[in-house]
Each structure stands twice: as C-alpha cells, then as structure tokens.
A and B are shown apart, each in its own frame.
Chain A
C-alpha cells in the first residue's frame, strides 16, 4: 500500500513548515523521557504490575544466586534418602535418586530465565528488522514478508518446535531458536503495523522535510514510538518461552535428564506420583509463578501504555 514513501504524495511545499516541525521533533524527544518515568510509576502503582515485578525480581535474584542459596548440589545423588517428603532439610523433598528438589528447582530457574531472555532477544532481532522493512518498503517486500509471517503463524507453535528439534536435534540451543521462530510473526506484525500507523504522523513528515533518509526515519523516529508495544509483546514472548521450554523438556525434546529443568523434573516425577506428590507439585508451581509474573507485568505494561491512561 505504502510503496512510494520517499516522494511527497500531495506535493506540498515543506520548506515553510520546518520551524514548527523542528519544535515538534524536539518535543517528541523530551516527552519520551518523561513518559518513561510515568510508565514505570504506573506499573509500580498497579497491584498486578507491582506483584509481577516483585516476583520476577525474586526469581531472577534466586536464579543468579542459586549456587549460594541452594542447600545441595542439584546433581548430587543421595543428598537425602530417595522419596523423602518435604522437611526443613529438604524443603521440597527429594526425588527417586535422593536429589534435593528445592536445589533443583532453584537451578531450574536459571534455565527458564536464560531461555526466556535468549529467545526473546533472538525473536526481537529477527522480527523487528523484518517488520520495519515490510512496513516501510511496502509493495512486494511487504507481501513477501507478510506471507512469511502468515506461514509461520499457520503452524501450531508446538509443531514448529517439534519439527525444528526433529531436524536439528533435541538440544537447548535448538529450543531457543524454535521459540524465537514461533514468536517472529507476532513481533514482526506488531512492528509493521506500528510503522504503518506512524507513517502519516506529522513528525515523520517533519523529519522527511528536513532531509532525513528513509532508513533514518524508520530507525530513529518511528521505531522508538513503536517500542512500547514491542516491549509488551516481548514480555509475552518471554512467558511463552518459559512455557514452551518446560513443555519441550517434558516431552523429552528439550533439556535432557539429569539437567534440573522444570519440565524435565515434572516428566521424571510423573512416574512416581503415587508415592511422591511433591515431585509433581513444586516444579509446576515454579513454572506457573514465573509465567504469572511475566503475564501480570505485560498486562500492567499494556495498561500503563494504553492511550486511555494518558
């Protein structure tokens, strides 16, 4: 649709407006700084946002400090007797090999967070340039990229992962790449739509009239304005990544035993549910709490950014 952005469609004379547009541009910049502070304040003040941030902070700190906080080596067989119910020594009990479940859950947070961050970054790095290109270039470039997004989107997400892992091997790295691919369409479409909605804004015309190149306008002026909604989506990507990593490990297609991944632990514990309920409980709570925190944070972010609140 927007194929001809570099030429001025209505042939207006821009030279007369530069003063006003210059001030428009600078206003945009300082507004952004103040807006960021407002957004952070709104998130902290909303109950969901505060809860999400707090829980996430606890999870991140405990994952980083896992080696200090964990009472036992997560791989150590015979840290206690097999199938010890939760006690003060073994807070979450022990598994069939006598490993300390609490220590394993703590270390599992490292895996989940690493996957979440790595795949969100990878998805972001691939999707944003594609979305920018599609939105800004328009024409056949837009069609080609949009069909690519449609195709990825047509696959149920777990199938993309399974196909990818089947071809390239059941490794954690491949799970990261698969989760990134799964999330490319959502992020990419969002970028594209943001670009399209911003293209007709006055500040874009202003920047163009001052001689900025297309690329500069897209990267310097439009992208920062699309960033808030992209950040919301990134939080969603992260929560999905946590779920998918756990699901893949649960199916035996991601992390492998004896890695203390939450999905692996649930899968191992499944065989012993009748004698050791705690094996089926704590890793699941960990996954749910992390996903819930990420969801609440993204929800609070969305509310804070919504125009209705401004």
Chain B
C-alpha cells in the first residue's frame, strides 16, 4: 500500500514540474519587464528596480526559475501591491469562506446524489427513476451561474426565504451562516450531484446484472439482502473517487459561484486579481489549486486501492 502511494506520488512529479514551469513562464509571456508587471501600474521606479533586483531578473532564466521555486518552498509567494500585504496572508484569509462553500456543496452531493443514485438504479423502471434520469440530464446542461440566478430569483426575490448573497463564518453565528450557505451550496453542488447520480446509477445497474448477484438471488436472499450485502458493497467503491474528483472540481466551480453570491473566497480573489493584474496572486493560487487537485486524485486512488485489493495487487 505504501509503495503504491509512493509510486503515484512519483508519477505526479513531472506534472507538478511542468505546471510550475508553465506558471513561471506565464509572467514572461507578457511583453515587457516582469518586474514592472509584477509591481503593478502604480509602482514607483524604485519599487520596480527593487523588485527587479529581488527577482534576479538579470540572471539566466534557469537560475531565476530555481530561485522562484526556492522562494515558493519557503512560503514566500510575493507581495500584493493593491493591499500591500503578503500574498500568502491574503490567500490564507480567503480559505475559510471557500472551505465553507466546498463542504456545503459536498454535503449536497452526498445527501442528494448518493441516495437518488442508488434508488434510481435499484428500480430502473419506476417513475421515480425516470424522473431522476430526466432531471439529471437537464441538471448537467444547466450552467452553474444560471442555476445560481434561478435560485436567487425563486428563493430570495420571489419567496424571500433565503438571502441572495453574503457570507457569515460559522463560528460567528452558526444559524445565520447556514442560512447564507444554502443557495451557494446547491449552486456549486448541483453539477456534482448530477454526476454522482449518473455514475452510481450506471455502476449499480452493472453490478445488478453480474453473475454473483444472480447467485445471491438463487441462494434465496431477498432483494433487500442482495442490494445491501452484495450490490452496494461493490458499487459504492467508485463513490470515493468521484467524491475526490468532485472536490477538485468544486475548487474551480467556486470561482463562478463566489462571483454570483458575493462570496469572499479564493475564487473571488482569482477573478479580482485578473482585473487588478495581480499576477503574483494568480500564480500562487494556480499552483495551490493544481497541487490540491493532484493530491486529491492520489488520495482518491489510494482509498480506492485500500478498498479494492485488485487494484493494488495488479
């Protein structure tokens, strides 16, 4: 098991390396002096010169890259010139909001996606199943930003049950926090829920048709017993993978969801940094996202291998 994870980690090294090169070269792709670009439009000549010196821009590009990676590994992500604060501090301050949102969306996916997926697969000819499948293909086609607008129209503007925007940390006011979290969580989690239903449905139906299930029926188990003891045990395995992949997707989905609901998370930070041309923030958030994406995928594979011996032994 340990060697399996180590192997997967080693495999991801080239990807991480290439990613860092791409992100490093991002600034160099913009015409002009990188120091001038990184220091921002309002920087004085001295500031630009100081940054030029600090980044070692007169040195060979390879040397610059090594220095840059070195600073990253020491947690030095650069300075934001708009707020005049370290980028690492800015990103850290945005993590709680995005975490609230991601956890909310994961809950939506688990509480709705898993049971609906299972039920629709066990009784494929029922009306419930047909409605679920139809609603599902619709849900996959609905862009999340429009879903957010629709939810606001219905629950905030028309029914006035829930607030249309705003973020309250859970440790300040748990009830108000959850009330504010409902619409964004459904907006962000809808697509993942649809994917989960589709996946579980296919996975369970495939298992139901296999030989050992027929044997289970043949030895006299009732449907409930077969489903609980044989079908779910196999079919729920891939849920772990889907969850991890979805969590990675949620991070990027947060960019859009946070824009709709005025949510002060990392997604908003990214979009705002494009407008403000804060390239150091963009570089750092990109690297962090990709890193998390890769780690999540490895974790998913590891869980999968832990649960299914066929994978780690092959």
Contact = CB atoms under 8 A, between A and B. Distances in A.
Which residue, of A165, A273, A287, has the highest number of chain B Cβ atoms within 10 A?
A: A273
26 contacts: A147-B18, A155-B289, A156-B252, A156-B293, A159-B290, A162-B274, A162-B282, A163-B286, A165-B274, A166-B273, A166-B277, A167-B26, A167-B29, A167-B30, A239-B141, A250-B259, A251-B256, A251-B271, A263-B145, A273-B157, A274-B157, A277-B158, A283-B146, A284-B143, A284-B150, A291-B143
A226 interface: no
Contacts of B231: none
Contact of A163 (B14, B26, B137, B248): B26
Contact of B149 (A150, A154, A273, A296): A273
Contact of A296 (B26, B137, B279): B137
Interface of B: 14-15, 18-19, 22-23, 26, 29-30, 137-138, 140-143, 145-146, 149-150, 152-153, 157-158, 164, 248-249, 251-253, 255-256, 259-260, 270-271, 273-275, 277, 279, 282, 286, 289-290, 293-294
Given A155-B290, A158-B256, A163-B26, A247 B145 contact: yes
A217 interface: no
A148 interface: yes
Contacts of A295: 137, 140-141
A291 B137 CA distance: 10
A225 interface: no
A250 B187 CA distance: 15
A59 interface: no
A168 to B, nearest CB: 8
A277 to B, nearest CB: 6
Given A159-B289, A162-B271, A163-B286, 16 more contacts: A147-B14, A150-B18, A158-B252, A167-B29, A170-B274, A243-B143, A247-B143, A250-B145, A273-B164, A277-B158, A280-B149, A280-B152, A284-B142, A288-B138, A291-B141, A295-B137
A251 to B, nearest CB: 6
A229 to B, nearest CB: 18
A288 B282 contact: no
Nearest to A270: B149
A253 B274 contact: yes
Contacts, number: 124
State the main secondary structure of chain A at its contact with B: helix
A151 interface: yes
Contacts of B253: 158
Contacts of A157: 252
A94 B30 CA distance: 40
In the A-B complex, list the 10 residue pairs whose CB atoms are closest, starting with the nearest: A156-B252, A284-B146, A292-B141, A151-B18, A291-B141, A280-B149, A158-B252, A166-B274, A150-B15, A250-B145
Interface residues of A, number: 42
Contacts of A111: none
B255 A281 contact: no
A246 interface: yes
Contacts of A168: 29
Nearest to B252: A156
Nearest to A143: B14
A252 interface: yes
B280 to A, nearest CB: 12
A266 interface: yes
A273 B146 contact: no
Interface in A255-303: 263, 266, 269-270, 273-274, 277, 280-281, 283-284, 287-288, 291-292, 295-296
B286 A159 contact: yes
Interface in A95-125: none
Nearest to B20: A151
Given A155-B286, A251-B271, A273 B256 contact: no
